[in-house]
Amino acid sequence: MRIWLQLRAKRFVATKFYREKVIGEYIADFASNKPKLVIEIDGNTHDVDDDRDRIRTRYLEQRGYRVVRYTNLDVMQNIEGVLMHLTNVIAEMRPPLPTLSPEGERA
């Protein structure tokens, strides 16, 4: 899968992703533990308004994961857009770096 080549081996924004990660009773397409993020790639068989997807997303969110979904078409035709979006999602999820106060600096 094209997206796995970008996510594997901590290549993508220094985040460790797992492929087909078991989370409770579900298997996530891709998931990271830090930040707690699940990436689902939906094929042609997924309805836009699928109750099973909503239940699955709620289950994962209750365990602290943020779930993002992309279609196969997005991944195949707009991988750069998908990766840019994922970069933004991960940046939002990471805590900001602390700023040093001027009083703490050495003279």
Tally of structural domains, the chain: 1
Residue 104 belongs to some domain of the structure = no
In the sheet that holds 66-71, the strands lie side by side as 17-23, 26-32, 37-42, 66-71
Residue 17 belongs to some domain of the structure = yes
Round to whole Å and give the CA distance between 52 and 102: 53
Query: What pTM was estimated for this model as a whole?
Result: 0.80
* Whole-number pLDDT of residue 65: 96
* Whole-number pLDDT of residue 44: 66
* Whole-number pLDDT of residue 105: 56
The series of mean pLDDT values per 10 residues for the chain, 107 residues long, is 83 89 94 94 68 91 95 91 93 78 59
* Whole-number pLDDT of residue 42: 85
Round to whole Å and give the CA distance between 66 and 24: 15
Round to whole Å and give the CA distance between 105 and 107: 7
* Whole-number pLDDT of residue 103: 66
Residue 101 belongs to some domain of the structure = no
Residue 27 belongs to some domain of the structure = yes
Residue 107 belongs to some domain of the structure = no
| Residue ranges making up the domain that contains 69 | 2-95
* CATH code of 18's domain: 3.40.960.10
